[in-house]
Each structure stands twice: as structure tokens, then as C-alpha cells.
Amino acid sequence: MLTKQVLEALTEAAGAATRTDSNRALACARDLLGTDAAEAEPLLTELARRYDELDRLRALAGRDPLTQAANRRTFEEELGRELARHRRTGSPFALILLDLDDLKSRNDRHGHAAGDEALIAFTHACQRTLRDTDLFARIGGDEFAVLLPGSTHAGATALSVRLREAVESVELDQAQLRVSLGCASTEHAKLSPDAIKASADQDLYRDKARRKHAARERAA
């Protein structure tokens, strides 16, 4: 018999944030059903299957279709959660913004398929360098972000060096990939999503300017 408590458990299972929470709610429904659980099992199994399908669609909706990195919406949501966690517990986090340099000129020289290949190779190089807990996201055409839970500014700066090394070890169409990076953290930035992104963006453009100046000096 589907009592009010059973219906509440089923509703919780259908709307749970994670698969673990959904399974826990389904187990609660089975316990509440008692001897009627076997009769209701087809319904519970179908609910679990539909949750899995919805979870798969949620994952797809949160990913960039080309690179399979997280998309801008997912990044913004996770940045908000990290900031809320920092305000609640003091746990630090850091942000790295990345620009894949010269993507437009690569597209112009070799076509958009070559540009897509560069974006995918860039993504793979970065993801191999990151922890499982780090979030790597494509937030624009050639713009990416890495959200680093628990990281200090020094940790993010050290990681940015490794990311550059990983990216610039990739060669496509007889040309190395190049990347500009900027870091920000809860240690130095004002505590709002826009302020943290702006701080990292300023650092990125300082890096881009330094590298352009160095390239001009080498060419002189």
C-alpha cells in the first residue's frame, strides 16, 4: 500500500541530487512497504532506471559538446558553491583562467576542424595534469577555467606552471600549442564570483602581455 510516507520516499528518490541519495530513498520506501515490497518492485526498478536516464541527461547538459569539459553554466554553479563553502567554513579555493592562444589564426590557416582538434588536445593536456577534485570547464570559444577546491594561491601558481608545460608539449600542424594563464584565490581576491574572476582575468592579461613582449624581443 502506497502510504503518505512511501510516496514521500518515492518523491525524494525521484528528485534526489545524487544517485546515492536516490538509492537511500528507494531503500527507505522498500522498508516502509514491508511485505508489499515485492509487489511494488517493478515500480521501484522503473523509478531507478528513469533516475539513471535523467542523471545521464543532466551530465550531458553540463558539458561542452566538443571537448566534453564542463560548460560555463556548470562552472558558474560550482564557483558559487565553493564561495558559499568558503564563507561557511573558511576552506580556501583558487581559480585559474586559461586562453588557448592563436586559435583564430589556426582556424584561418588550417580550417575549423584543425581548431577543434587543438581545443580537444588542449583539454586532454590540461585534464591529465589536474586532480580528480578539480573542475575544468570551457567558458568561451578559446577560454577555459580550472576551479581548485582547497587550493592556496601558491598551489594554483605552481599548477599553472605545470599546465603550461603540459599544453606546450603538444604540437599540431608543426606548431606548438600556446596558453596564457591567470590565477586568483580567496587569499587575495574580493569574495564575490565576479571579483575572483576579474582578479584571475587581470593576471591572465598580464601574462599575455609579458609573453608578447618576450616574443617581440626574441624576434628583434
What are the boundaries of each domain within the chain? 4-61, 72-219
Mean of the per-residue pLDDT values for the chain? Answer: 85
Counting residues of the chain whose pLDDT is more than 70, the rounded percentage is 88
Candidates 161, 128, 127, 122; CA nearest to 143 is 122
Per-residue confidence (pLDDT) for residue 191, from 0 to 100? 82
CATH class of 72-219: alpha beta
C-alpha cell at 91: 576552506
Task: List helix spans (H) across 90-138.
Answer: 103-110, 112-129
CA-CA distance, 33 to 45, in Å (whole number)? 14
Per-residue confidence (pLDDT) for residue 189, from 0 to 100? 67
Residue 152 CB partners (closer than 8 Å, separation 6+): 92, 94, 185, 187
Which of 91-95, 152-156, 209-213 has the least mean pLDDT? 209-213
CA-CA distance, 127 to 130, in Å (whole number)? 5
Between 16 and 32, whose confidence is greater? 32
Q: Is the pLDDT of residue 49 over 90?
A: no
Per-residue confidence (pLDDT) for residue 109, from 0 to 100? 85
216: confidence class by pLDDT, cuts 50, 70, 90:
confident
* C-alpha 126 chain-centroid distance: 12
Statement: the pTM of the whole predicted model exceeds 0.85: no
